[in-house]
Each structure stands twice: as C-alpha cells, then as structure tokens.
Amino acid sequence: MEGLIYERLPENDHFFDEDQITDKSERFLASEIIREKLMRQLGKELPYSTTVEIERYKEEGETTHIHALIYVERDSQKNIVIGQGGKRLKLIGSEARRDIEALVDNKVMLSLWVKVKKGWSDDDSALKSLGF
C-alpha cells in the first residue's frame, strides 16, 4: 500500500531549506517563549485570557530590543501576572530573555508590560490584531 501512495505522489521542489525548522518569524517565536514562561510561572493561577503581543522588535548592532505587552482581561489578573513587588514579572522576563537570546544568538533587552484589555478574547477584531 505504501508503495502505491509513493508512486502517485507528484515530485516537487522542497518548500523549505533543509536546515529550516519553522516558517514562523523570530518575533512570533519570542512571543511564544514569553507565553510559555507565563504558563510555567503561573501554573494553575494562569489567567486563561492572557496573550502576548510584541509591540516592538528591533535589532541594533549586537542587541535585539523587544518590547512586549502581556494582555489580561481584569485588574485582578494583572496583579497575578506582576506578582508582589513585580517579582513574578521580573522572573518571567529573565527566563524568557535567556531563551530568546539562545534563539536569536544575540544579546536581548526585553521589556514587559502588563495591560488590561477588557473582553479581548471575545472581540473578533482584537483577536485578529493579535494574530488569532
């Protein structure tokens, strides 16, 4: 059966280079790394209506500057993400920065802000602007 399928498949050039592991941008991957750190740090406290938007991504010489917004839907969720005295957000940022530096092979200056955007997860235009 496998041979029949293989015989009928059309030959084509490869769509991606052999060493290319994804078609996503570094900007997208940076937002996913930040989201991953949010999930790991917050565990069961994680507000499920949380997302990350990269507001600015700019390479300047040996440094990549990233400004990211973490959106939540309520003020109480904002406090959970920031943590007492900003400790949780600082830890999320430190861990994300290390992983992003490994990804881009460059020094990273990562700035994180937490903002309340009420109802973003139910708003089609907000979802579209955030890439969903």
CATH code for the domain in which residue 61 is found: 3.30.300.20
The pTM of this model reads 0.77
Q: Which domain holds residue 83?
A: 24-124
Which tokens belong to 69? 């917004």
What is the domain count for the chain?
1
Mean pLDDT for the chain? 85
Whether 130 is covered by a domain: the verdict is no
Instruction: Compute the chain's Rg from CA coordinates.
Output: 19
Whether 41 is covered by a domain: the verdict is yes
Which tokens belong to 52? 């990350």
- The model's confidence at residue 46, banded by pLDDT at 50, 70 and 90, is low
Mean of pLDDT values over 47-58: 86
Mean of pLDDT values over 52-72: 95
Report which residue type is found at 6.
Answer: Y
Cα 113-44-89 angle, rounded to 5 deg: 20
Query: Is the backbone of residue 94 left (phi > 0), alpha (psi -120 to 50) or beta?
Result: alpha
Percentage of the chain exceeding pLDDT 90: 55
Whether 95 is covered by a domain: the verdict is yes
Whether 65 is covered by a domain: the verdict is yes
Whether 58 is covered by a domain: the verdict is yes
Whether 119 is covered by a domain: the verdict is yes
